[in-house]
A = this chain, B = another copy of it.
Amino acid sequence: MKSNAEPRDPNYEARCRASFDAQRMMKTLGAEITKIAPGQVEIEMPFQAEFTQQHGYLHAAAVTAVLDNACGYASSSLAPPNASVLTVEYKVNLMAPAVGERCIARATVKRSGRTLTVCAADAFMLKDGAEEQVATMTATMMTIYRKEVQHDP
């Protein structure tokens, strides 16, 4: 994963990984950050039957979870040290049934502003060594500077 973006926080990777590790949801899904660069994040999670819908595919919400976080940490990788990133909204198109061994979400920052960041992400299922795209997300993220944050520890 290569990126031309310049991080404002040289410690961005450690900061993003610490925040990711604080998400119980990611642990529950068995998800992990597999690549991170300024403005780009890849997250993988295994297929698990606990998160399937009625046909045995991964539920759209499980795929959405890793798409959302890939966008969130891609945005966060460009944020200053004293900032938090919140999801404002996202839109997901489901393109194929989510079957396979692993789900991979890859996000890129399309525009990074002081307050709002626009990200795009694609989700793929890895099956028998081949990837198939199963979903795509566009997301708007908001950077909250520390003094404004009221619900952070």
A positions within 8 Å CB-CB of B: 19-20, 22-25, 28, 49-55, 57, 59-62, 64-65, 68, 86-97, 110-111, 115-116, 118, 120, 133, 136, 138, 140, 142, 151-153
**B contact residues around A68 at 8 Å (CB):** 59-61
**B contact residues around A20 at 8 Å (CB):** 54
**Main SS class of interface, A:** mixed
Q: How many angstroms from the CA of A25 to the CA of B93 in the assembled complex?
A: 19
Contact among B88, B94, B115 with A94 in the assembled complex (CB-CB below 8 Å): B88
Contact among B50, B60, B64, B118 with A95 in the assembled complex (CB-CB below 8 Å): B118
Oligomer copy total: 4
Q: How many angstroms from the CA of A151 to the CA of B142 in the assembled complex?
A: 21
Q: How many angstroms from the CA of A55 to the CA of B144 in the assembled complex?
A: 14
| Chain B proximity of A74: nearest CB distance (Å) | 15
Q: How many angstroms from the CA of A138 to the CA of B52 in the assembled complex?
A: 22
8 residue pairs A–B, Cβ–Cβ below 8 Å? A57-B151, A60-B65, A60-B90, A61-B62, A61-B68, A86-B94, A90-B92, A120-B136
Interface-centre pick from A59, A65, A116 (highest chain B CB count, 10 A): A59
**B contact residues around A61 at 8 Å (CB):** 25, 61-62, 64-65, 68
Given A60-B68, A61-B62, A68-B60, do A89 and B93 touch, yes or no (CB 8 Å)? Answer: yes
